[in-house]
Homo-oligomer: A and B are copies of this chain.
């Protein structure tokens, strides 16, 4: 009888416990959907500031704007963390065309981020189409020398998660020019990284590795419609000529900032939970999905925590990282300083997959930690959040990784993401207010749970003072 009574008591306490959590989670969703700030912030970031490539005026204005908005939230601390970032500038609008059947076919083209310029009069050459880096290597220097290499492997449509399709192709964009340069090619054009057939060129980062300057060749993306047209034209006329012109330039590094805000923990101020997105974006659109959405959702998490009745036990930081797109300097800097200051981070969560309807999270953590997280899954079911899987997190928080902490990435629906990614149409109108707000509430709910329960089987640090 006594044991039964104790068990009943225990069951009741668990129930109360879980009702509290359910109510807290519900209040996050209710607040975000009814009085949320994320959409208004994104409106400003997208429509008043626009593209925010590292080192640009837009990036600096975004730093000022988000810092001042965080200051309005009544957090315990808001500050800027200086970081040196690369500065690459696109220059004039790129142009390109190929000649087929004696007709000039204009292409929608854009330089890849980090590329060198073409000669002022443009670059012209014969084209070799390859389906990837391996096929390029198999051709060898003899065939590649003096040619423009056209990487045309499309993203695989049958994969359900579009990030997997992207992962299976993006090496062409990132390393194509480096590999082609090694073999003596004079330039590279890459099929844009999207699953659609459309007219938009998609930019993105690329590298020359440690190639000497004379082997660094211009590289650009062309729209998928143009890629299809070029491929077809090449089948009829293998010796056709392609020309493109771009005037992009790499400048010396400049100083920029991560923007950080903190709610200091009441019980374990030296245990940190980080929520973040990246403040920089590519320059062609407004970076509304990538990653304006993640920025404003992360800010909203702190607003929701502050608004809720739950006083954080641990220190909760929003970090708006600079330079994810072409350097990751912000993410590295934050991790360096965290290590220097011996800050114990127990969890970091990034939103950098677009502002679409959230489906859940992927977690980079131990099996034991994952088991703890899975225990919270049912709390999210009323909000149609169902995806709790082990997997990657986010580029900016990657450098923080160490044993005894959980990295997580918000996983929104990915079907439309590459329609907009790194293009001129990544703009405010492509973001739905509710989808954005649901994402923020989903993040805030996870943060609430991590703050309340910490990591099981880990010793929490005592309060300072």
Q: Chain A: residues with CB nearer than 8 A to chain B? A: 29-30, 33-34, 157-158, 160-162, 195-196, 357, 359, 382-384, 386-387, 413, 415-416, 419, 432-435, 438
CB < 8 Å: which of B34, B415, B416 contacts A157?
B34
Q: Are A413 and B357 interface neighbours, CB within 8 A?
A: yes
Closest B residue to A31 by beta carbon equals: B158
- Whole-angstrom CA separation of A432 from B432 in the bound complex: 14
Closest B residue to A434 by beta carbon equals: B415
Q: Are B382 and A384 interface neighbours, CB within 8 A?
A: no
Q: Are A33 and B415 interface neighbours, CB within 8 A?
A: no
CB < 8 Å: which of B34, B357, B359, B433 contacts A196?
B433
Chain B residues closer than 8 Å to A196, beta-carbon distance: 433
Chain B residues closer than 8 Å to A383, beta-carbon distance: 160
Given contacts A384-B387, A413-B413, A433-B196, whether A158 and B33 have CB atoms under 8 Å apart is: yes
CB < 8 Å: which of B158, B161, B416 contacts A29?
B158
- Whole-angstrom CA separation of A357 from B30 in the bound complex: 24
Closest B residue to A35 by beta carbon equals: B157
Chain B residues closer than 8 Å to A157, beta-carbon distance: 33-34, 434
Chain B residues closer than 8 Å to A434, beta-carbon distance: 157, 162, 195, 415
- Whole-angstrom CA separation of A386 from B435 in the bound complex: 18
A sample of 21 inter-chain contacts (CB < 8 A) reads A29-B158, A29-B160, A30-B158, A33-B157, A33-B158, A34-B158, A157-B434, A160-B382, A160-B438, A196-B433, A357-B413, A357-B415, A359-B384, A384-B386, A384-B387, A386-B387, A413-B413, A415-B432, A415-B438, A416-B432, A419-B432
Closest B residue to A413 by beta carbon equals: B357
Closest B residue to A26 by beta carbon equals: B158
- Whole-angstrom CA separation of A383 from B29 in the bound complex: 26
Q: How far is the CB of A379 from chain B (nearest CB, A)?
A: 14
Q: How far is the CB of A18 from chain B (nearest CB, A)?
A: 19
Q: Are B160 and A384 interface neighbours, CB within 8 A?
A: yes
Chain B residues closer than 8 Å to A158, beta-carbon distance: 29-30, 33-34
- Whole-angstrom CA separation of A431 from B438 in the bound complex: 21
- Whole-angstrom CA separation of A386 from B386 in the bound complex: 7
Closest B residue to A418 by beta carbon equals: B434
Closest B residue to A36 by beta carbon equals: B157
- Whole-angstrom CA separation of A357 from B161 in the bound complex: 12
**Closest 6 A-B residue pairs measured CB to CB?**
A386-B386, A30-B158, A33-B157, A415-B434, A33-B158, A415-B435
